[in-house]
Structure formats: C-alpha cells, structure tokens
Chain A
Amino acid sequence: MSGTALDPTTAATFPMAARGLMGDTQLRKNVKHATDVIQAKRARVVGEMPDWQELRESGRRLREHTMRYLDAYLEEFERNFTARGGVVHWAADAEEARRIVVGLVKASGSNEVIKIKSMTTEEIQLNKALEAAGIRPYETDLAELIIQLGHDQPSHIVVPALHKNRQQIREIFKREMNLPDLGGTPQDLADAARLFLREKFLKVKTGVSGANFLIAETGGVCVVESEGNGRMCLTLPETLITIAGIDKVVPRLKDLEVLLQVLPRSATGERMNPYNSIWNGVDPARNDGPRAFHVVLMDNARTSVLADAEGRQTLNCIRCGACQNACPVYRQTGGHAYGSVYAGPIGAILTPQLQEMKFAQTLPYASSLCGACYEVCPVKINIPEVLIHLRNKVVVQGGPFKAEALAMRAMAMIFRSERRFRAAQRLGRIAETPLVREDGQGEGWIGWLPGLLGGWTQVRDLREMPKQTFREWFEAREASGNAGGER
C-alpha cells in the first residue's frame, strides 16, 4: 500500500482492491498471524468472566440509552467541561474540525504537535491538513509511528500496523531513524521508538488526541492505551486538543465500570490495558497537565446515521476491533481493501453511512454474513442485520433499473406463477446447452457463464441442470401407471 490516504470517496471498490491484496502472501500471513494471536488471547480472558453476557447486554443498553438522549448528555458534558476550565468546539464536518484544530495549534504558538493514536483524526485526515499549514505532527503510538515513518496507512482500528512483520518494521526504522545497526527483535524496535520519541515528549508544547469516552456527569475525558505515549501527550504539553465524535459521550463515571471491563478484553485480550487516564479540565493549582484544554465535538455525518432507525446501532461501537479479528473476510484481505480507516465488519457498516451512502457502496457486500462479528461485539451491535439493511439501501438507491433490482423483480415474477416457473426451467436447459462440457464420468459441467453470472464460474464450476425436474419425473411416473397400488 502506498502513502495514498484511505479515502472512501476515491478508493477502488472492495472487490477490485481485495483482488490485488489477495496476491500479497506476506501481508496475508502477517494479518492471519496477528488476528490468530489476538483471538486466542481474547477468548482466554473473556472465558474467565462468568458475567460476560450480562456485561455485553448492559453495554448495549448503555450505548443505546446514550444515543437516545445524546443532545442532553452532550450539553451536560459541555457545561461540566467548561466549568473545569476546558473549551468546547463544535464541528459539523471534517473540514470544520480540521480548520478548528489547525487554528488552535497555531494559536498555541507551536509548529509541531505530538499525537496520540486516534481513529477520528485518521478519519478526517488531520495530519495532511496540519502539514499543509506548516505544522509537523509526530505520531507517538508505536504502530502509528510505523505507519507514519513507512508512509503507509492504518489497516486495523486497534493495531494499525498489524499488516507489517518485525523484519519490515526494522527496515522502516533503520531507514527513517538512521539506525543502520538496529536489531531485529520486537524489544529492539520498541527501544528505538522510546529513544526516538522521548525528546519530543519532553519538548513539544502541543498535544493532539482522540478520546475513548467523554463523561457527561463530570466533564471528564477517558483515554485508554498501552505504551504510556498517551499519558505523555495528555500530561506534558501546555496545550491539549482532543477531537471526539459526538458518539463518544457516556452518561456517568460509573458507566465506565461496564466499558472498562469489556473494551480491553475485546480489543487486545488483556484483563486491563496498561494505562487508563481519566481527568477533568485543567488543574493549574496542582501543576498537573496542560494549561489549555480544548475538546472538538465532531458530527461528520454521525447525526445522519442516528436518523436511520436500523443503522443507528452502528454508533454504539466502542472501537475495540474484535469484529475485525473474527471476520473471515478481513482475515483474508487485511484492512486496506476497505478503502477506509475503518475496515472489517464495523468499517463495512460505518464507512458507507459516514459517506451518507454516496461512496463505499460495495462495502456492505464485503461479508459472508456469518455472524462472527456480532458474536464477539462487546456492545452487541448486530452487524449482519445492518449489512443487509445497507445492501437494501444500495439497491434501492441504484433505482428500479439497476441489474440487481431488475433480476430480483424478474425472479419474483417467475416464482409467482407455476407456468412461468416451469417455462423458465425448460428455457434454462435449452440455454445452457452450448456451455455444458462433459467430464470423464459423463457428468455435465459449466465452466464459464456470460456477463454478471460470470462471477460464479470465475472460481468454481457449475453442474448442468438435471435432464428432468422432480415434478416432471413425478408426473411421468403417474402417467406411465407405475405409481403402484399402495397409495
């Protein structure tokens, strides 16, 4: 994958992108290894929780509740955050969010920022906007650093560089950090990142982060992480700018007792991730943390998702990535095929909705509907249900004359009448004749079908239709008087 940003408005369709990536055996091996390891770890720590299903149910209800009263909770958050010395900004879309952040960084007097891993900033391609304004962003999460130095794109919500193995990472670090003698163990690579970033942590005056949760009751912000880079960015700069989707709010501090149990176990297969920070506004009296703290509350089409009765459960997502690890499609293609920073099953429903169904319309089809994603989701988002709902939207949007809509209407017409159904079967037998080839056993097979139907025969042969249907056989049997006397 090149440095081209994952932009759903310009990305190739999923089948096109997937075909190319399926040829990259190294990538497939890396993705399979990483997702196998996370799934095994997750299964172990989920298995030791006797109340896992109760936690999932509470998680689901809590997220549904929050979305139902979202306006009241956002206003409550704003009030409490402001009372504790923070400043709230509202952004209707990505463009406005970028403009606000660039303006705040400039006002902080800094021409560089340290960044915590944030999918929201990836969603709005913030780094590109910062660079265009002459501001240098330093990604500080190890995986994001690998992506940034490798001029690559994230392929997973939680482990964005999961498609790279240690040798590939070593090559990137050797080249970009100018370390010709760098060792090849994961420990060597982590040490290199520690040294590379330490000076930045201690000197850069402005930090940019996302948020895992915004707590309405206290005006607090919660960030969940592993490496301590998050704590560095939250604690050491003079100015902190946090960008969060409006879906990130939770009603009360107490609600974290559910979310902080289900998130780490689902995301990285840990009982708890190494660091969770929960803090409120600014605290100059204790010299603790930044002097200036801004939160940008961003819509960027989340309200249009909220307006769709069936699609809105997508907003309940807490970004754990468990559905990606469990998905048989993602595990084959990796994340880049989805043409969006949100890949895998959640990406297949979130991305087209965030694009208001104008782009990424092949993504709802990037699934076998096996339901593995639903089973592992810590807040019970019924992803298969939303996938089908979005497929329907795509077809309806395509208009009544789109091939799929026409085909389905023709099928419906045929199935409604016995006469038409029989005629169609006869017609099929005649139409297939020139395509059927006999194998050694005298069985007929079709190896090629024309047009849209060709998708089926690309990877498998189709058996020829039987010479006689069941009804024909049954009727012939009666007519010849062989029906027997035992009826």
Chain B
Amino acid sequence: MSRAGVLAKIRAANGGASTLATAEAAWGEIPRAYRRTAEMEREEILEMLEDRLRDYDAHVVRAARADVADTVALMLRTRGRTRMLMPEGVDQELLPSWVGFAVDDPGEPLPFLAIDKFEGVLTESTLAIAETGTIVLQTVAGQGRRALSLIPDYHLCLVRTSAVVRTVPEAMDLLATVPAFATTFISGPSATADIEMTRIKGVHGPRFLDVVLVID
C-alpha cells in the first residue's frame, strides 16, 4: 500500500527518479583502492588461516589426502564423539570406514529434534579466508542444508587447501562465480561477548569446531 508513497518520497529527496542503468554506471565509479589480493606464499597463507582459526579456539590439523580418514578418526576419539551426522555427498575417501556416519537424506530430511540427538556433524566446505579465519559453507552436496552445521554441538569441517584464499575480496570474487545458494561464513565456534565483553565460546551454535586442512 505504502510502496508508491515511499518511492515517491525517495525520488523527491533525490531530485527525481533513477534508473538501474545509470545506477550501475555510477557504481563502477566507486573507488576501491583497498587490497584485493595479497602477494604471499601458499604456505604463509595456510599458516595464517591456522593461526587465526586457533585464535578463535578452533582445533586445526593439516593432513595429506591419504591421511585424512585417520585424522578424522583421531579427532572424533579425542573429542569422544561417536554419534555423528553428515550431509549427503561427502567424499567417501576422506572418511574412516570403521566409523559410522548417519547421512541426512535430502529426500527424507531429518526433523530438527532428531538432528539435535547427534553428538556432532562432519561437513566439507566451499572455501576459507585466511586473513579473517573464516570457513564458508553453502547448501550444496557435501555441505548440506544450514541446520546440519548448526544444531549439533560439535562441527568437524574439512577444508581443501586449494580453496584457501587470503583476503575477503578474493573470497567474494569466488562466490560470485558459483550459484547463489544459501551461504554461511563461520569464524570459530559460536561465541558471545555480551557479558562484560568477555568472549565466551559456545552459545547456541556448535560449541566446538575442529578443522582438517586437506592438502590437495
């Protein structure tokens, strides 16, 4: 009802209506002198990601592809997690065959109360940003719908080293090339600083985050 009125007021304030074409032309004129990429050795970028993830209290391990299954098994044992869930489409070669994972079947998705009964979830990821210690997940095979990496108390995330970028602009460039599925940036376990600005790990999202950097 108020649509026309609000738009008319905006146009009056801006001295007339604008078109998307003129807006897009002007958008191109916005100066962007900030860093897009960073000249940095691959190894340095990976170390930066590990450092920043640890800064958020995430546990990070690097593993060659052939060793990932053992690494995952060891992490689960260390955490004492056995009832694990994962989305459909996780690369089977990366999983320990002797650990059972329940799979969320897209044809018959688990109710949220059932997801809440699991002790943890394992997912892959789309990319990671070293400078901010961020892992990006999307609603695609191997990463699953958003509820999966949210409700369980523990998240074990596999990140391919080839998908690690240094800066936020590099990450946004990559995201612009993939379909616009729901996207979640995860930087450490859930946290709050609402009480006296003290960072407390673990509120509603997963309280524990383990990351395996898969060397590829």
Taking Cβ atoms with an 8 Å cutoff, the residues of A that contact B are 30, 33-34, 37-38, 41, 50-51, 54-55, 57-58, 61-62, 65, 67-76, 90-92, 96, 140-143, 146, 159, 161-162, 165-166, 169, 186-187, 189-190, 193-194, 197-198, 201-202, 218, 220, 226-229, 231-232, 234-236, 246, 251-254, 256-258, 260-261, 264, 268, 270-280, 283, 286-289, 297, 299, 303-304, 306-307, 312
Contacts and interface: CB of A to CB of B under 8 A. Distances in A.
Per DSSP, chain B at the interface is: loop
B6 to A, nearest CB: 5
A174 to B, nearest CB: 15
A197 B204 contact: yes
Given A253-B175, A277-B182, A227 B30 contact: no
Given A58-B31, A190-B200, A274-B56, A306 B191 contact: no
A304 B6 CA distance: 10
Contacts of B203: 142, 190, 193-194, 226-229
B193 interface: yes
Consensus secondary structure, chain A interface:
helix
Interface in B183-216: 183-198, 200, 202-206
Given A69-B22, A90-B6, A274 B35 contact: no
A70 B11 CA distance: 8
A54 B34 contact: yes
Nearest to A307: B13
Contact of B106 (A194, A251, A287): A287
B216 to A, nearest CB: 24
Given A186-B195, A277-B184, A72 B19 contact: yes
B119 interface: no
A74 B12 CA distance: 15
15 contacts: A38-B197, A41-B197, A62-B30, A67-B14, A72-B23, A90-B6, A92-B5, A142-B194, A228-B206, A235-B145, A235-B146, A253-B175, A279-B146, A288-B182, A306-B14
Given A54-B34, A228-B205, A289-B146, A71 B10 contact: yes
B40 interface: no
Nearest to A79: B20
A302 to B, nearest CB: 9
A159 B13 CA distance: 33
Interface string B1-35: 11101110111111001111011001100111111
B142 interface: no
Contact of B14 (A50, A71, A142, A229): A71
Contact of B9 (A33, A54, A142, A303): A303
B52 interface: yes
Contact of A275 (B9, B34, B186, B198): B186
Top 4 closest A-B pairs, CB basis? A228-B205, A303-B9, A69-B23, A227-B203
A291 B14 CA distance: 37
Contacts of B182: 277-280, 283, 288-289
Given A51-B34, A71-B10, A289-B182, A274 B188 contact: yes
Max chain A C-beta neighbours (<10 A), residue from B134, B187, B192? B192
A272 B190 contact: no
Interface in B134-167: 134, 139, 145-147, 150-151
Contacts of B33: 51, 54, 57-58
A272 B134 contact: yes
Contact of A271 (B113, B187, B194): B187
Given A246-B10, A306-B14, A273 B187 contact: yes
A186 B198 CA distance: 8
Interface of B: 1-3, 5-7, 9-14, 17-20, 22-23, 26-27, 30-35, 52, 56, 106, 109, 112-113, 116, 129, 131-134, 139, 145-147, 150-151, 168-169, 171-173, 175-176, 180-198, 200, 202-206
A72 B56 contact: no
Given A68-B26, A143-B194, A252-B27, A74 B7 contact: yes
Contacts of B5: 92
B194 A220 contact: no
Given A92-B2, A271-B52, A279 B132 contact: no
A232 B6 contact: no
A163 to B, nearest CB: 11
Given A72-B22, A227-B204, A261-B34, 19 more contacts: A34-B196, A68-B26, A71-B14, A74-B10, A91-B2, A141-B194, A142-B194, A143-B192, A161-B195, A162-B197, A187-B200, A189-B195, A228-B203, A235-B146, A274-B187, A276-B184, A277-B185, A278-B182, A306-B13
Nearest to B133: A271
B172 A253 contact: yes
Given A69-B22, A72-B19, A159-B197, A274 B186 contact: yes
Contacts of A70: 10, 14
Contact of A235 (B17, B109, B147, B188): B147
Contacts of B109: 287
Contacts of A73: 23
Most A-side CB within 10 Å, residue of B33, B204, B206: B204
A91 B7 CA distance: 11
Contact of B168 (A65, A169, A257): A257
A228 B194 CA distance: 13
Contacts of A218: 180
A71 B20 CA distance: 9
B193 A268 contact: yes
A275 B180 contact: no
B191 A274 contact: yes
A214 to B, nearest CB: 14
B26 A65 contact: yes
B196 A186 contact: yes
